[in-house]
Structure 1
Amino acid sequence: MIEIRAATEQDVEVFYKLMLEEAEHHNALQHIHTSPSEIRRAGFGKDPRFGVLLAQFDGEPAGYISYTVNYSIWLGAEFMMIDDVFVTAKYRGRKIGEALMARARQVAQAAGHTRIRWGVESNNEGAIRFYQRLGASLHTKGLCTWEVGDDPGRH
């Protein structure tokens, strides 16, 4: 059975392991610069900077969505910005991604947001079909990053 719930501070280690699993899946472990203690501080303190929805299948960790809340000047409103959508290989094909996205939609609506935004790799055709099946629109736009901190190796 699928259960989707908001992560708590007690879930930090589980969430971090899922993050590492996702990064490994994308051959991107070198881009993980955070730690469980930073996740705990930034996500579960007095003023959380992000949210996490955890998926469990029969009580086992199966995936997550991480998100932030941003403000759109053009919309004149806050919106949910999804960072990651990930389902472990063991649980793919069991509608967990669908359940995670449905719960994200509920969270956004409950907060008064009228939009959810996220990125997808242009060559990830399976994910694009999945998101379009949910009713999402795909907008082609370049993504730029500009490293401005002291450590140019951080992304």
Structure 2
Amino acid sequence: MSSTSEVAIRPARRADVPAILALIRALAEYERLGHECQADAPSLEATLFGERPAAEVLIAEVDGDTAGFALFFHSYSTFLARPGLYLEDLFVQPRFRGHGVGRRLMAELARIALARGCGRFEWSVLDWNAPAIGFYRRLGAIGMDGWTVQRVSGEALRRLAGQAD
């Protein structure tokens, strides 16, 4: 990436599904979770561009090359009685890091949050990912001490729903 490279941020299109899938797989490997990645093109196409999209994606391009992505969706704050924006995944390919691509994606998400009347913009980060945590702190983010993420999935989810095998 040269000093004259152009960074462009745009909403993803259906034709971007293969690139989004490649970025998701690269993120899973980076996070040491490749073995958990079950995403495939048909599922992404259905959930991102189908009748009722579950999330949205921004694509970052540098001189026409896909450099990264941000996948986000709306949440809701009962205490604020306003929607929020939740960033599920942010990933910039290694060769494009340190050149403002991640910052541009985050700034665009902040603009979207404000334009949509969101009261907050949130995300989670792995506790071992010091470079990401440092990046987020430089953007003004604060850690939510005292809160831990909880998850029910797979068999536990089916059991909770009363649909266990």
TM-score (norm 1): 0.91
Q: Which has the larger radius of gyration?
A: 2
Q: Deviations over 1:34-91 (max 9, x none)?
A: 2111111111123211010111111101111101111121221111110011100111
Is 1:5 aligned with 2:19? no
Q: Output the amino acid matched with 2:110.
A: R
Partner residue in 2 for 1:136 = 141
**Offset at 1:128?**
1.5
Partner of 1:68: 73
Distance 1:20 1:84 in 2: 12
Please say if residues 74 and 83 of structure 2, whose CA atoms lie closer than 8 Å, have aligned partners that are also in contact: yes
Q: Which runs of 5+ in 2 are unaligned?
A: 1-5, 160-165
- After TM superposition, the structure 1 = structure 2 runs for residues 12-51 of structure 1, keeping only pairs within 5 Å, are 12-51=17-56
Q: Which moved more, 1:50-59 or 1:128-137?
A: 128-137
> For this pair of structures, how many residues does the alignment match?
150
Equivalent residue in structure 2 for 1:104, among 74, 85, 109 = 109
Distance 2:80 2:38 in 1: 32
1:123-155 CA distances to partner (integer Å, 9 max, x unpaired)? Answer: 2222112111111111122212122137xxxxx
Q: What's the TM-score, normalizing by structure 2?
A: 0.86
Corresponding residue for 1:95?
A: 100
Root-mean-square deviation (CA), in Å? Answer: 1.3
Give structure 1 regions of 4+ aligned residues with deviation exceeding 3 angstroms. none
CA distance in 1, matches of 2:138, 2:17: 31
Report the counterpart of residue 116 of structure 1 in structure 2.
121
Amino-acid identity (%): 30
Distance in 1 separating the partners of 2:158 and 2:56: 24
In the aligned structure 2, how far is the partner of 1:46 from the partner of 1:107?
Answer: 22
- The answer for the alignment partner of 2:158 in structure 1 is 149
- 1:17-38 deviations in Å (ceiling 9; x for gaps): 1101111112211211221111
Deviations 1:92-137 (A, max 9, x none): 1111000000011111112111210100122222211211111111
**Partners of 1:149 and 1:105 in 2: how far apart?**
36
- Hey, what's the Cα distance between the residues in 1 that align with 2:119 and 2:99? 28
CA–CA distance in structure 2, aligned partners of residues 53 and 64 of structure 1: 6
Gaps of 5+ in 1: 151-155
CA distance in 1, matches of 2:112, 2:49: 17
Distance 1:38 1:146 in 2: 20
